[in-house]
Amino acid sequence: MDKILQTIKRFIPKKLFSALRPWYHFLLGAIANVIYRWPSERLIVIGVTGTTGKTTTTYVIAKMLEGAGYTVGYTSTAMFADGKKEWLNNKKMTMVGRFFTHKILRDMVNNGCQYAVIETSSEGIVQYRHRFINYDTVLFTCLYPEHIEAHGSFEKYREAKGALFAHLKNGKTKYANEAGIICRPKTGLQKTELRRIKKKIVVNGQDEHASYFLDFWAEEKYAYFLSEVGKARPIFASDVQEIVASASKTNGQTKLHFKNEEVAVNLLGAFNRQNILAALSVGIAHDLPLVQLKKGIERIYGVAGRLERIDSGQPFTVVVDYAFEPKAVTNLYETIEALPHGKIIHVLGSAGGGRDKSRRPILGAIAGKRADIAIVTDEDPYDEDPATIIEQVAAGAENAGKRLSIDLFTILNRREAIRKAFSLAVSGDVVLITGKGSEQAICRAGGNMEKWDDRSVCREELAAMGYKTVDK
């Protein structure tokens, strides 16, 4: 469909195409929904949106529900699952095309899934990719500036997120049997024998934009908080139910405390405590037993391309992470710096294609200040000159005090950049590789996709150095 769109654009005046584009996206969604026979009407659908935390939270919700005994499918930036199999996202999209989305939803139905968890992006919302999905619960993680150049302003970016919440009231009410299977009651009596799936909003109550999202209509509203000593919680309307948990750490093990239960957190980083609490809150909103939710959460030890450690027996630590914007990179540093480490060697870049050009020197400055060695390289240039992008990122690192060829290197070839980082690392050091995570391609000019996986390249380069221990 993207190729069709590009072809159409060549023959239609730009202004006319811009006017028709919303209708194009709308019609594609409608057609896909009909072809695959309204699949979201047969699933309990949970949408996850926010600036960061979406992918991890989507994954945790899915695994939590599986632990509770349900069959679950999901779509995310990192992975897909249809109730029978899981596989890496090779589409270079968070919210993939309408036909793919509705097809995988239909596969979920055919595979006996009760739940579908959909990571829902602002760009996907603008293109009506959510429009013909009947969401039952919508979760908001957090909000801060991202994709501003694409949306035009932060206000429009927030409005795009808000459109998902506004969409909640458009969906028909669903009914489920005791097994969680969506049924279509034919009589009023049948309705009384089934569980009505209420429309719910779950929001991070500690985010400054929480009230904006809680103002949208829902039958039930929840705000979750990770309690902090000395910090007062905001006061919301009386129809908002609060979910409050606290965190503790003993002998390296982090736990969330909710009511009389302790939930072990096996994912590193303070931000992952928030992600797990977000998922837990969704389960609580759906009236699922806490002991079952706990079982699923405690089985999770990692998410593909998110703080993923690459261990081939080398004496230094290698971490691959998807973080590509300043806040996420800052959160990542806070996690890495809290661990025992020698030097931090950071391999980073920034995307092209007009994507948030302003963040390039900011990313460089973060690495310039917090890494011992910064190596700036290619990421996803699209139709831009990758060397220019690298220069813009490196300029930020130089302004932060880094010196070219001493503790700052610019290497166009991403594999060579990773190789350079490994060559500089000694025992106890941390090599941090950000920007792509588990993505399966680098986007080049003209829509070309170069097959790529940071994690595989890391393993190949470590093997070339003589480290060939099989990952556990």
**Residue 18 pLDDT:** 66
470 lies in some domain: no
Asked if 315 and 267 sit in the same domain, the reply is no
Please state whether beta strands 344-348 and 430-434 pair in parallel, antiparallel, or not at all (unpaired).
parallel
- Asked which of 230, 263, 297 is the last residue of a domain, the reply is 297
Q: What is the mean pLDDT of the chain?
A: 91
Q: Classify residue 258 by burial, with Cβ atoms within 10 Å: 0-12, 13-18, 19+.
A: buried
Q: Please give the average per-residue pLDDT across 171-179, as a whole number.
A: 93
**pLDDT reading at 443 higher than 90:** yes
In 3-state terms, what secondary structure has residue 128? coil
Q: Which of 232-246, 331-345, 409-423 reaches the highest mean pLDDT?
A: 409-423
Beta strands in 40-194 (DSSP E): 44-49, 72-75, 79-81, 86-88, 115-119, 137-140, 174-176, 182-183
469 lies in some domain: no
Asked if 236 and 364 sit in the same domain, the reply is no
For 228-272, how does the pLDDT look when each residue is reduced to its tens digit (9 = 90+)? 755 677 888 889 999 999 999 887 789 999 888 899 999 988 889
Asked if 185 and 287 sit in the same domain, the reply is yes
**pLDDT reading at 351 higher than 80:** yes
Q: In what order do the strands lie in the sheet with 408-411?
A: 308-309, 317-321, 430-434, 344-348, 373-377, 408-411
pLDDT band, very low/low/confident/very high, at 24 (cuts 50, 70, 90): confident
Report CA 14 to chain centroid distance, whole Å.
32
CATH number at 407 reads 3.90.190.20
Q: What is the distance in angstroms between the CA of the first residue and the CA of the last residue of the chain?
A: 40
Higher pLDDT, 202 or 125: 202
57 lies in some domain: yes
- Asked which of 297, 318, 341 is the last residue of a domain, the reply is 297
Name the least confident of 89-98, 164-173, 285-294, 312-321: 89-98
Asked if 391 and 251 sit in the same domain, the reply is no
pLDDT band, very low/low/confident/very high, at 149 (cuts 50, 70, 90): low
Report CA 139 to chain centroid distance, whole Å.
12
Asked if 168 and 274 sit in the same domain, the reply is yes
471 lies in some domain: no
Asked if 211 and 343 sit in the same domain, the reply is no
Q: How far apart are CA 171 and CA 204, in angstroms?
A: 23
Asked if 126 and 236 sit in the same domain, the reply is yes
Neighbours of 181 (CB within 10 A): 17
Asked if 156 and 120 sit in the same domain, the reply is yes
Q: How far apart are CA 408 and CA 401, in angstroms?
A: 9
Asked if 184 and 241 sit in the same domain, the reply is yes
Residues paired with residue 261 on neighbouring β-strands, in sequence order: 258
Beta strands in 188-279 (DSSP E): 195-197, 200-204, 220-226, 240-250, 253-258, 261-265
Question: Which structural domain, as residue segments, surrounds residue 317?
Answer: 308-464
303 lies in some domain: no
Classify the C-alpha dihedral 295-317-322-415 as positive or negative.
negative
CATH number at 220 reads 3.40.1190.10
472 lies in some domain: no
**pLDDT reading at 146 higher than 90:** no
28 lies in some domain: yes
pLDDT band, very low/low/confident/very high, at 117 (cuts 50, 70, 90): very high
Asked if 250 and 342 sit in the same domain, the reply is no
Q: What is the pTM of this model?
A: 0.91
- Asked which of 236, 264, 297 is the last residue of a domain, the reply is 297
Spatial CA neighbour of 164 closest among 194, 189, 199: 199
Q: Classify residue 266 by burial, with Cβ atoms within 10 Å: 0-12, 13-18, 19+.
A: middle
Asked if 219 and 263 sit in the same domain, the reply is yes
302 lies in some domain: no
**Residue 259 pLDDT:** 83
Tokens of 374: 């910064």
Share of the chain above pLDDT 70, in %: 93
For 185-201, how does the pLDDT look when each residue is reduced to its tens digit (9 = 90+)? 888 778 888 999 999 99
Q: Please give the average per-residue pLDDT across 116-144, as a whole number.
A: 93
Spatial CA neighbour of 141 closest among 50, 216, 273, 205: 50
Report the number of distinct structural domains present in the chain: 2
**Residue 353 pLDDT:** 84
Asked if 51 and 116 sit in the same domain, the reply is yes
